[in-house]
A and B are shown apart, each in its own frame.
Chain A
């Protein structure tokens, strides 16, 4: 079992719709959770971080964390074609290095 699992996609949504990206992690001692966006050929850029159970909203983005279920999600409201990218879920569990999932490719259709 991978430490951080994501559906590779592609996840295709129409412009203006809500995109829902999911991530599960295997180690219960994971402490901090991050969503990075990576455009093709570019380095990852931080979208959201979340540390406690519940929802965290930032503009069109909402991160949701459920530690009991070991589940993290990212919702993107009013999806735009410019949101088309690979979304990487990452966790930190003590050693401070990020453990990444393999990413979900999102395609927003105009």
Chain B
């Protein structure tokens, strides 16, 4: 496809369960980012991938959060033992030219996670 895709679009889970969120970046984009947006708030950075390595994971809020990426393709964000405060929209973005002056990030539609 032409843009960043994410799945599922919506996820409702019970407190304490694990969830996996998936992101397919734009083809050819080497950099991939995960952000979180709580209701009515701005976007918070979670983790950045360059290829399949993560040089910056400083935004992950706790060790319950982890992410991996296969090559320069799909990434999965995993949240273990979900808590109600994890409820948010999880947004993925990708960019073509990381570190360059034109490092424009394009966002996917997001996954809305609701933890009951």
Contacts A43-B107, A43-B110, A46-B106 known; A100 to B43 CB distance under 8 Å? yes
CA distance A65 to B56 in the complex (A): 27
- Output the residue of A42, A43, A102 with the most chain B CB within 10 A: A43
Interface size class for chain A? 20 to 34
B residues less than 8 Å from A45 (CB atoms) = 107
CA distance A104 to B73 in the complex (A): 33
B residues less than 8 Å from A95 (CB atoms) = 48, 56, 58
| Interface-lining segment among B63-71, B76-84, B95-103 | B95-103
User: Is B31 part of the contact surface with A, judged by Cβ < 8 Å?
Assistant: yes
A88 touches B42 (CB 8 A): yes
B residues less than 8 Å from A32 (CB atoms) = 101-103
User: Is B28 part of the contact surface with A, judged by Cβ < 8 Å?
Assistant: no
Contacts A96-B56, A98-B33 known; A49 to B45 CB distance under 8 Å? no
- Distance (Å) between the CB of A55 and the closest chain B CB? 18
Q: Per a CB cutoff under 8 Å, which of B42, B95, B101 touches A102?
A: B42
- Chain A 19-54 near chain B by CB (<8 Å), digits 1 or 0: 000000000000110101000001111100101000
The chain A residue with its CB closest to the CB of B34 is: A97
The chain B residue with its CB closest to the CB of A103 is: B42
Q: Per a CB cutoff under 8 Å, which of B48, B89, B104, B109 touches A97?
A: B48
CA distance A84 to B95 in the complex (A): 27
- Distance (Å) between the CB of B63 and the closest chain A CB? 20
Q: Per a CB cutoff under 8 Å, which of A43, A46, A102 touches B104?
A: A46
A100 touches B42 (CB 8 A): yes
CA distance A50 to B34 in the complex (A): 23
A residues less than 8 Å from B110 (CB atoms) = 43
4 shortest A-B CB distances, which residue pairs? A102-B42, A97-B45, A43-B107, A100-B43
